[in-house]
A and B are shown apart, each in its own frame.
Chain A
Amino acid sequence: MSNPAHDQDLKYQQVGLGIVDDVFQVVADTDGITVNGACPRCHGKTSTTFPKGVAGTKGLFSRSRAEPPSVAEQAALKATETFFCECGFAHTGQPENTLFEGCGAQWKVGPGSTSGSGIGGTP
């Protein structure tokens, strides 16, 4: 089955799509976790990176700092985070100062989907 083409004529609209099928690929390394896939609304390629940064707790001399996140950690992040369309195309009506350049859609990824729930390690 071929993927639908990126609908660039779609107007920007901040719309919640709820929980969508897990057709997203996860790539993880020591710097963070990246979730790739297609926006369920405009079908553009979207990629969201969750870098490691200051705030959480792993202790002062964390041994896990140099290790990539575990599969469970990747799955947990994908299941809990809210994703935004970041297709990179400036859809009509997009605000100038938005941090997520895309069609404005946001969604959560549902658990136990049928296809494509690739969770991987270092690319």
Chain B
Amino acid sequence: MSAGVDRRWAELARELEFSQLDQLRKQAEGWRNGLIGLTALVAVLAVLKGRDDLSRLPSPWQTVATSLLGAAFLLLVAGSLTAVRASFGKPGEVLHLGGQSLRKWTLTEIRRVRRALYLSTVAFACGMALVAGALGVSWTHTEEPAADLVKVSTSAGEFCGRLVSYVPSEVTLLPTSGDTTKPLVIRAPDVRKITPATAC
């Protein structure tokens, strides 16, 4: 390395000695903005998590969607923190302020920043893909609640189906499974309770 370059690095290190507080304040400001962004990310995820909630998903899909969202959340948080670290450095870092030490640290930091940028991009892409997957599962597998589904409790047991008619003498249901075309007629004296149902 030429004498001029050595001198330049040494001068840079010496100037850095007098601008440390400014550097730290800028770093703190960057981290603060990054953490605010992270909070916004959590809010966005809460909005994007699906139609109303995941509780209307049938059994296996509820677990799938929840897992996808959990993994997406972790990836997006990790990606955000990595990007903030790439932009504003690692808090609390110190070294001896000499020209060659600064030069060595700068070269190492360049490698770290490049790697952090790559990792944050990958984490963001994977996180968004998982969010999209969870949304897809949510939209394609959420069951609309049927307004006319009821559960009828009788002395002989419980029956579930679509309510067709209710007259003082009997209750008529259309079963949702088995032979769905044959109405089920239950005599009124046998009926103990009728409750609305979201599924049979």
Chain B minimum-CB-distance residue to A52: B94
Question: Which DSSP category, helix, strand, loop or mixed, fits chain B's interface?
Answer: helix
| 0 or 1 for each of A41-66: is its CB under 8 Å from B? (1 = yes) | 00000000011111111111110010
Q: B24 contacts A54, CB within 8 Å? A: yes
Question: Knowing A53-B16, A60-B90 touch, does A82 contact B10 (C-beta < 8 A)?
Answer: yes
* Contact present for B93 and A57 (CB under 8 Å): yes
What's the nearest-Cβ distance from chain B to residue A69, in Å?
7
Cβ contact of B97, chosen from A14, A55, A60, A106, cutoff 8 A:
A55
Q: A80-B98, A81-B99 are in contact. List 13 more A-B contacts (CB 8 A).
A: A16-B3, A50-B98, A54-B20, A54-B23, A56-B96, A56-B105, A57-B95, A60-B90, A69-B96, A77-B96, A77-B101, A80-B104, A100-B14
CA distance in complex: A73, B41 (Å): 43
Contact assessment for B92 and A58 in the assembled complex, using a CB-CB cutoff below 8 Å: yes
| Interface membership of A99, Cβ < 8 A | yes
Q: Is the CB of A53 within 8 A of B100?
A: no
Docked complex Cα distance between A56 and B9 (Å):
15
Q: Smallest distance from the beta carbon of A13 to chain B beta carbons, Å?
A: 11
Query: Which chain B residues lie closer than 8 Å to A33 at the CB level?
Result: 96
Interface presence of B143 (CB below 8 A): no
In the complex, whether B170 has a CB less than 8 A from a CB of chain A is no
Q: How far is the CA of A90 from the CA of B27 in the complex (A)?
A: 37
- Complex Cα distance, B95 from A65, in Å, reads 10
- A115 CB → nearest B CB, Å: 23
Question: Complex formed: what's the CA distance from A84 to B91 in Å?
Answer: 31
Closest to B94 in A: A52
Are B91 and A60 in contact, CB atoms less than 8 angstroms apart?
A: yes
Bound form: Cα–Cα A106–B4 in Å: 10
B7 interface residue, CB < 8 Å from A? yes
**What count of chain A residues pass the 8 Å CB interface test?**
28
* Minimum CB–CB distance for A80 against chain B, Å: 5
Chain B: residues with CB nearer than 8 A to chain A?
A: 3-4, 6-7, 9-11, 13-17, 20, 23-24, 27, 90-102, 104-105
A32: interface (CB < 8 Å) = yes
Give complex CA distance A100, B99 in Å: 13
Give A67-88 interface residues, CB cut-off 8 Å to B.
69, 77, 80-82, 84
- Rounded to whole angstroms, the CA-CA distance of A99 and B7 in the bound complex is 10
Q: Which residues of A contact B99 (CB under 8 A)?
A: 81-82
Instruction: Tell me whether A77 and B98 are in contact (CB under 8 A).
Output: yes
Residue of B nearest to A16 (CB): B3
A81→B10 CA distance, assembly (Å) = 9
| B7 A106 Cβ-Cβ under 8 A | yes
The 8 tightest CB contacts between A and B, nearest first, are A56-B95, A16-B3, A50-B96, A82-B6, A50-B98, A53-B97, A81-B98, A57-B93
